[in-house]
Amino acid sequence: MKVKAMSDAEIKVKGNEVLNKSLGHSVALRFLSLLHKEPTDYVKISKRIYKNQKIDDIFRRARQQGK
């Protein structure tokens, strides 16, 4: 199996997508909080991950990942 090299940003985005799809937003956030043993500001993380991206591009990628 060939694995694509991913940047840290891509890993964060993919990880969040997988967690949200698998667990749902609330449980994914709870899971991340448990890992870090401190509150997780998902809004702050999302703003950093999606900085300078257009909403249409984000949704287009999300739809492609769901296929």
**Mean pLDDT for all residues in the chain:** 84
Helix (H), strand (E), coil (C) string for 45-57: HHHHHCCCCCHHH
**Domain locations along the chain:** 8-65
- Percentage of the residues of the chain whose pLDDT score is greater than 90: 25
**67 sits in which H/E element:** none
Q: Is the pLDDT of residue 1 over 80?
A: no
Query: What is this structure's pTM?
Result: 0.46
Say how far apart CA 12 and CA 22 lie, in whole Å.
15
Residue 52 backbone class (left: φ over 0; alpha: ψ -120 to 50; beta: rest): left
